[in-house]
Amino acid sequence: MIKLLTSWLESANSAETLFPLNNLPYGVFSVGDGDLRCGVAIGDRIIDATGLEAAGLLRADPQADVLDAPYWNDFMGLGPKVWSAYRTALTGMLAESADAAAQDAVTTFSVPMAEAVLHLPFRVSEYTDFYAGKHHATNVGTMFRGAKNALPENWLSIPIGYNGRASSVVVSGTPVRRPWGQIKGADGELPVFAPSQRLDLELELGAIVGQPSSGPVTVAEAEAMIFGYVLLNDWSARDIQAWEYQPLGPFQSKATATTISPWIVSKAALEPFRAPTPPRERPLLPYLAEATSGLYDIELSVALAPSGMRESAIAHTNFREMYYSAAQQLAHHTTSGCPMNVGDLLGSGTISGRAPDSRGSLLELSWGGKEPVKLDTGETRTFLEDGDTLILRGHARGNGYRIGFGDCSGTVLPALEDPYAR
Ligand code: CA
């Protein structure tokens, strides 16, 4: 396992920081009334990558100002060789061995993270969400259809997904309004239109497509197209979902909001933490064969803080638990010829482990609302209540360092008055 790369910036060398020199995640920030700028996190500071580019001190493209924008899409579009060269150059400027000129440049073009506001790190082109966690699919299937029909027949062969809405993706810290929707009525009665009473989270990782495709690609080609990963919370209204999901899958139940972490952790930073997908219970078709280990050893946790109270951990799991990798999902996505674009976001599917406290949704943690989850404050939860703040965290753990994403959080706001009462 790679050791901590030490920096002349002391805060980057702590074993507890999420942003050592080994990480260098990409985000977008602003300070005060200033413009949105591309930034890279290091220790307790953000490097102003837009500023470094404009000053000619660190450029991704000698011809174009690709970072003169409030998103990393144009940079991603330059491709893996540029991603790698930029990372190498920035690592050199931050390493303990960096010369005085490099240290001066970084000192001039950086701000304390505590003074910055973080924004969506990239322009989400399109958003697709998958269902690749076998423990999650089994748990949910058992609740919705019974243990015998838990896993649909296709599940062990197809990375199941649905097309979500890019417009609903928000950055960590954005409040989430409890949605209204159509909910199944009592037996023989009409459905009702009401605020969701079963608002839930889904703990996921999002893969970001950094290169386009125009036809079917292999898993190895898909792997090369992925730029990096974010934490992702696919907020889900379970009562709306249960009524609408057959036969075309979730729709309004997952269209309210999807929250992502403010930092994109690059594939390069996660490279030492690769983990294999599990043994296949049924052989996959050849086009889904993996050339490399497609998962990562990333420790994940969910915390819930009721309004005005301290947070309680409610789940711990690991991205290694998934059945399909992002590269397999992306390859499958292209089989129809569906073009993929720079900035496409692919949700992994809920990440649940085998153990009851490793489940990545309240639906599973409370087993459909039947077994309330106990919080450290003495409160209990089946589903989310107004004022609850939900925080997803994740990091890969190296020898004396961590690679983190920053918190992926959101607070539930009460439903509006009946939106149709006018
Ligand atoms: Ca999901």
pLDDT tens per residue across span 82-131: 999 999 999 999 999 999 999 999 999 999 999 999 999 999 999 999 99
State percent of the chain over pLDDT 90.
97
**Burial classification of residue 387, based on how many CB atoms lie within 10 Å of its CB (0-12 exposed, 13-18 middle, 19 or more buried):** middle
3-state secondary structure of 333: helix
Query: Which residues, in sequence order, are CB contacts of 167 under 8 Å at separation 6+?
Result: none
- 1 pLDDT higher than 80: no
Tell how far the Cα of 160 is from the centroid of ligand 1, in angstroms: 11
- 369 pLDDT higher than 80: yes
Tell how far the Cα of 194 is from the centroid of ligand 1, in angstroms: 22
- 348 pLDDT higher than 80: yes
Amino acid 121: pLDDT: 98
Domain boundaries, the chain: 10-119, 127-413
Instruction: List the single range of 56-60, 190-194, 246-250 with lowest mean pLDDT.
Output: 246-250
- 2 pLDDT higher than 90: no
Q: For helices 80-94 and 100-108, what crossing angle results, to 10°? A: 100
State percent of the chain over pLDDT 70.
100
- Which residues of 263-321 form beta strands (DSSP E)? 265-266, 274-275, 295-296, 299-305, 312-318
Architecture of the domain delimited by 127-413: Alpha-Beta Complex (3.90)
Tell how far the Cα of 212 is from the centroid of ligand 1, in angstroms: 24
Is 127-413 in the same CATH topology as 10-119? no
Tell how far the Cα of 145 is from the centroid of ligand 1, in angstroms: 18
CA 278 to chain centre: 21
Sign of CA dihedral 286, 287, 292, 296: negative
In the predicted model, what is the mean pLDDT of the chain? 97
Tell how far the Cα of 204 is from the centroid of ligand 1, in angstroms: 7
Query: Measuring CA to CA, how many Å separate 297 from each of 188, 275, 317, 318, 320?
Result: 48, 6, 10, 7, 5
Tell how far the Cα of 339 is from the centroid of ligand 1, in angstroms: 22
- 415 pLDDT higher than 80: yes
Q: Which of 119, 136, 332, 395 is catalytic?
A: 136
Q: Provide the CATH topology of domain 10-119.
A: SH3 type barrels. (2.30.30)
Beta bridge mates, 206: 230, 347
Tell how far the Cα of 104 is from the centroid of ligand 1, in angstroms: 44
What band does 278 get if pLDDT is binned at 50, 70 and 90?
A: very high
Please name the helix (run of DSSP H) or strand (run of DSSP E) that holds residue 62, with its range, or none: none
Tell how far the Cα of 90 is from the centroid of ligand 1, in angstroms: 35
Active site residue 119: no
